[in-house]
Protein backbone atom coordinates (compact mmCIF):
# COMPACT_ATOMS: atom_id res chain seq x y z
CA UNK A 1 0.00 0.00 0.00
CA UNK A 2 1.68 3.13 -1.17
CA UNK A 3 0.93 6.30 0.63
CA UNK A 4 0.97 7.75 4.06
CA UNK A 5 3.21 6.06 6.57
CA UNK A 6 0.71 6.89 9.32
CA UNK A 7 -2.09 5.16 7.40
CA UNK A 8 0.09 2.09 6.87
CA UNK A 9 1.05 2.05 10.54
CA UNK A 10 -2.60 2.30 11.59
CA UNK A 11 -3.63 -0.45 9.16
CA UNK A 12 -0.91 -2.72 10.55
CA UNK A 13 -2.14 -2.13 14.10
CA UNK A 14 -5.81 -2.61 13.22
CA UNK A 15 -5.17 -5.87 11.36
CA UNK A 16 -2.91 -7.11 14.16
CA UNK A 17 -5.60 -6.43 16.78
CA UNK A 18 -8.30 -8.19 14.76
CA UNK A 19 -6.04 -11.17 14.03
CA UNK A 20 -5.08 -11.43 17.71
CA UNK A 21 -8.76 -11.44 18.72
CA UNK A 22 -9.60 -14.02 16.04
CA UNK A 23 -6.70 -16.22 17.16
CA UNK A 24 -7.70 -15.97 20.82
CA UNK A 25 -11.28 -16.94 19.92
CA UNK A 26 -10.03 -20.01 18.01
CA UNK A 27 -7.66 -20.90 20.85
CA UNK A 28 -10.52 -20.64 23.35
CA UNK A 29 -12.68 -22.84 21.09
CA UNK A 30 -9.98 -25.53 20.81
CA UNK A 31 -9.31 -25.52 24.55
CA UNK A 32 -13.02 -25.90 25.36
CA UNK A 33 -13.66 -28.52 22.65
CA UNK A 34 -11.14 -31.17 23.59
CA UNK A 35 -11.12 -33.52 21.79
CA UNK A 36 -12.00 -31.50 18.70
CA UNK A 37 -14.32 -33.34 16.36
CA UNK A 38 -15.09 -32.81 12.71
CA UNK A 39 -18.71 -32.09 13.62
CA UNK A 40 -17.69 -29.37 16.06
CA UNK A 41 -15.49 -27.69 13.45
CA UNK A 42 -18.19 -28.02 10.82
CA UNK A 43 -20.71 -26.45 13.17
CA UNK A 44 -18.32 -23.59 14.05
CA UNK A 45 -17.39 -22.71 10.47
CA UNK A 46 -20.86 -23.17 8.98
CA UNK A 47 -22.23 -20.08 10.74
CA UNK A 48 -22.32 -16.86 8.71
CA UNK A 49 -20.65 -14.82 11.45
CA UNK A 50 -17.70 -17.20 11.57
CA UNK A 51 -17.47 -17.37 7.78
CA UNK A 52 -17.44 -13.57 7.53
CA UNK A 53 -14.95 -13.32 10.40
CA UNK A 54 -12.68 -15.84 8.70
CA UNK A 55 -12.95 -13.99 5.39
CA UNK A 56 -12.11 -10.73 7.15
CA UNK A 57 -9.17 -12.47 8.85
CA UNK A 58 -7.88 -13.61 5.44
CA UNK A 59 -8.15 -10.07 4.11
CA UNK A 60 -6.43 -8.72 7.23
CA UNK A 61 -3.59 -11.20 6.80
CA UNK A 62 -3.18 -10.12 3.17
CA UNK A 63 -3.09 -6.40 4.07
CA UNK A 64 -0.81 -6.99 7.04
CA UNK A 65 1.60 -9.06 4.95
CA UNK A 66 1.54 -6.62 2.03
CA UNK A 67 2.35 -3.57 4.18
CA UNK A 68 5.16 -5.39 5.98
CA UNK A 69 6.67 -6.87 2.83
CA UNK A 70 6.31 -3.62 0.88
CA UNK A 71 8.21 -1.84 3.65
CA UNK A 72 10.98 -4.45 3.68
CA UNK A 73 11.30 -4.45 -0.11
CA UNK A 74 11.37 -0.65 -0.24
CA UNK A 75 14.09 -0.51 2.39
CA UNK A 76 16.32 -3.37 1.24
CA UNK A 77 15.79 -4.09 -2.48
CA UNK A 78 17.30 -1.16 -4.34
CA UNK A 79 17.15 -2.30 -8.01
CA UNK A 80 13.79 -0.94 -9.14
CA UNK A 81 12.96 -3.70 -11.62
CA UNK A 82 13.70 -6.45 -9.10
CA UNK A 83 11.63 -4.69 -6.44
CA UNK A 84 8.65 -4.32 -8.78
CA UNK A 85 8.95 -7.94 -9.84
CA UNK A 86 8.98 -9.13 -6.22
CA UNK A 87 6.05 -6.86 -5.37
CA UNK A 88 4.06 -8.28 -8.29
CA UNK A 89 4.80 -11.84 -7.15
CA UNK A 90 3.71 -10.97 -3.61
CA UNK A 91 0.49 -9.28 -4.76
CA UNK A 92 -0.44 -12.21 -7.00
CA UNK A 93 0.35 -14.71 -4.23
CA UNK A 94 -1.71 -12.84 -1.63
CA UNK A 95 -4.61 -12.49 -4.08
CA UNK A 96 -4.53 -16.22 -4.85
CA UNK A 97 -4.49 -17.04 -1.13
CA UNK A 98 -7.54 -14.85 -0.46
CA UNK A 99 -9.45 -16.28 -3.43
CA UNK A 100 -8.49 -19.80 -2.37
CA UNK A 101 -9.77 -19.04 1.14
CA UNK A 102 -13.06 -17.81 -0.30
CA UNK A 103 -13.44 -21.08 -2.23
CA UNK A 104 -12.71 -23.05 0.92
CA UNK A 105 -15.25 -21.06 2.96
CA UNK A 106 -18.08 -20.99 0.41
CA UNK A 107 -17.08 -23.75 -1.99
CA UNK A 108 -19.89 -26.12 -1.12
Express each pLDDT in 26-73 by its tens digit: 999 999 988 889 999 999 998 999 999 999 999 999 999 999 999 999
- The confidence score (pLDDT) of residue 94 equals 97
Domain count within the chain: 1
Residues of the chain with pLDDT > 70, as a percent, come to 96
Cβ atoms within 10 Å, residue 31? 9
Query: Could you give the CA distance from residue 71 to residue 54 in angstroms, rounded to a whole number?
Result: 26
- What CATH number does residue 57 fall under? 1.20.1300.10
DSSP state of 36: P
Helices (H) and strands (E) in the chain, counts: 4, 0
Separation of alpha carbons 81 and 92, rounded Å: 17
Q: Pick the residue with more confidence: 22 or 36?
A: 22
Classify residue 53 by burial, with Cβ atoms within 10 Å: 0-12, 13-18, 19+: middle
Task: Give the per-residue pLDDT at 106.
Answer: 84
CA atoms within 13 A on the CB side of 53: 16
Distance CA 25, CA 40 (A): 15
Which range marks the domain in which residue 10 is found?
A: 5-106
Amino acid sequence: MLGSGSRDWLMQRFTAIFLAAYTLFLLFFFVRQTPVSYEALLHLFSGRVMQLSTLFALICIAFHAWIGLWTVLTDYVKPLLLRYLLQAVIIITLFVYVVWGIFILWGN
